Copies of this chain bind each other. A is one copy, B any other.
Amino acid sequence: MIKIGILGYGYWGPNLVRNFYGNKKFQIVKIADSRQERLDTVKRNYPQVETTLYPDDIINDSLIDAVAIATPVFTHFKFAKASLVQGKHVLLEKPMTSASHEAEELIELAEKRKLSLMVDHTFLYTAAVQKMKQLIDDDMIGKVKYLDSTRINLGLFQPDINVLWDLAPHDISILTHLISEKPYSLNATGVSHTNNGMENIAFLTINFESGLIAHFNCSWASPVKIRLMLIGGDKKMVVFNDLEPTEKIKIYDTGYTVKTDEEKRRLLVDYRTGDIFIPKTPSTEALALMAEDFAQSILNNKQPVSDFNSGLSVIKILEASNESIKNKGKEVIIK
């Protein structure tokens, strides 16, 4: 059994705890949080788990094999590095770190010490994303032309990161998971309605050399909740509505084909709208699969779906988005 400690029992921590608790390969040994009332809740719900106000009590506990980190983003690097140094496997909440050089340092450390290091991009474990991945890999969608995602609601304004760092990791991790082509450049714009300068509404466009375009609309300031992703290929198109309780993925036999015209003057476009197919997607909790993937990476050296490369790609894109916003939307080449 993997002995795991968990840092942070705020918004997401309880979900991690519930899923590690439900996985028999893990034993939750200790949970740390800086607020005593949260630890009291832990005590009430999981009387057998130790609690502590100090992360170091977990990081330095030699009986603990792995650490899951669900603290504010700016602390990720510090806690992850210390854990790796102590020889522990690490699971980080998204986004992985505050900067790509931090992520790279963690990756180097994990590789040197042969420790598991993964990022909880939960969406990669949903049946919906797995279905889309399969459709694209099986060439059912054809060449992907665009991906367009809207992720808005009246969300909690984060004090230390803007809305892209908060919400877009979901979409970016899906994008880089589905599309093997490396993104080329991006443009980002946004606005802050608070005095801390953190954008609460932002738009991100990612450009690919092949002509694929990806667009993300993120907001904490919408009266309605929307979680809608459209993917258009030259064979079929997919609509992923995460708020649908069961019919999350709709596959449209819809497309357009641009023909070459010898005179090059007229535009010849063939349109096609056909049947729609809604595959059944199992309702397994994604986080349970993520926990299992972490276990497999520790026990069997399996490369996890949401690995550190996925985490690093997301950070590089977010960093570039910062630069573009600072430069009023200017194109920034993604490193």
Copies of the polypeptide in the assembly:
4
Please indicate the chain B residues that have their CB under 8 angstroms from the CB of A232 in the complex: 221-223
Does A37 interact with chain B (Cβ within 8 Å)? no
Please indicate the chain B residues that have their CB under 8 angstroms from the CB of A247 in the complex: 276
Q: How far is the CA of A328 from the CA of B201 in the complex (A)?
A: 21
Total chain A interface residues with beta-carbon distance under 8 A: 68
A211, A223, A264, A331: most-surrounded residue (chain B CB, <10 A): A223
Does A182 interact with chain B (Cβ within 8 Å)? no
Q: A191-B146, A331-B330 are in contact. Are A277 and B275 (CB under 8 A)?
A: yes
Does A195 interact with chain B (Cβ within 8 Å)? yes
Partner of A264, one of B48, B187, B195, B269: B195
Q: How far is the CA of A219 from the CA of B237 in the complex (A)?
A: 14
Q: How far is the CA of A243 from the CA of B273 in the complex (A)?
A: 19
What string of 1s and 0s marks CB contacts (under 8 Å) between A230-267 and chain B? 10100001010001010100101110101010001011
Minimal beta-carbon separation of A314 from chain B (angstroms): 20
Q: A193 to B211, Cβ gap below 8 A?
A: yes
Minimal beta-carbon separation of A197 from chain B (angstroms): 11
A47, A213, A253, A266: most-surrounded residue (chain B CB, <10 A): A213
Does A271 interact with chain B (Cβ within 8 Å)? yes
Partner of A213, one of B191, B252, B264, B274: B191
Q: How far is the CA of A201 from the CA of B150 in the complex (A)?
A: 15
Q: B221 to A256, Cβ gap below 8 A?
A: yes
User: Which residues of A in the span 109-130 have a Cβ within 8 Å of any Cβ on B?
Assistant: none
Does A278 interact with chain B (Cβ within 8 Å)? yes
- Smallest CB-CB separation from A253: which chain B residue? B280
Q: B224 to A230, Cβ gap below 8 A?
A: yes
Minimal beta-carbon separation of A300 from chain B (angstroms): 26
Q: How far is the CA of A135 from the CA of B213 in the complex (A)?
A: 36
Please indicate the chain B residues that have their CB under 8 angstroms from the CB of A266 in the complex: 159
Other than the given A189-B207, A203-B215, 10 more pairs (CB < 8 A) read A148-B201, A152-B230, A158-B267, A159-B267, A187-B189, A191-B212, A191-B213, A221-B256, A223-B232, A224-B252
Can you pick out 14 interface pairs between chain A and chain B where the beta carbons lie within 8 Å of each other?
A146-B221, A154-B254, A157-B258, A157-B267, A185-B328, A189-B207, A190-B213, A191-B212, A193-B256, A196-B267, A222-B230, A223-B232, A223-B254, A273-B280
